[in-house]
Amino acid sequence: MPLPKKPKTAKQWAAEHAKTVSKDKATMVCAALETVKPFRHWFGWSGQGHKWDNLPATLQAKVPRIGAGIQEWGSANCAEIDAAVRAINKGANIDNLVFAAAEAAVGTLRKPCLNCAKWAKQG
């Protein structure tokens, strides 16, 4: 009997999906992966224009307030935010998610920015 396939990691999901995303759509792609069953995954893209007041409360509690981040850009511009919003809106618990980001079009994995490093668990 063949062994069951090992599930993909957030890094694998991000790198594979990023290669399919044009730089015209986003510069970064992020995969959010549940660490508990059913191990669902979601993708997010940078530059989606999320507004602080529209972020789920569970995400607002984790993310540095927009405009108060360490980077010169607001946290809501990041692909990690977009992936988290999509996951939470589908019923995922933010505490059960890990994230990985990759450069759009090429799939090169990237470390999170200093804003996202404060809240997005890497996986």
The CA distance from 72 to 38, in Å, is 36
pTM exceeding 0.85: yes
C-alpha span between 118 and 70 (Å, rounded): 10
Indicate the domain borders of the chain.
52-100+111-123
3-state DSSP helix/strand/coil % of the chain, to nearest 5: 30, 20, 50
- Which residues is 100 bridged to in the sheet? 31
Q: Which residues pair with 109 in a beta bridge?
A: 102
- Asked if residue 31 lies in contact with residue 42, where contact means CB atoms within 8 angstroms, the answer is yes
**Model pLDDT, residue 64:** 75
Interval 24-36 mean pLDDT: 95
Sole residue written with tokens 């850009």: 73
Question: How long, in residues, is the chain?
Answer: 123
- 67-123 pLDDT, tens digit each: 555 666 667 789 999 999 999 999 999 999 999 999 999 999 999 988 899 899 999
For residue 72, give the nearest of 114, 28, 101 by alpha carbon.
114
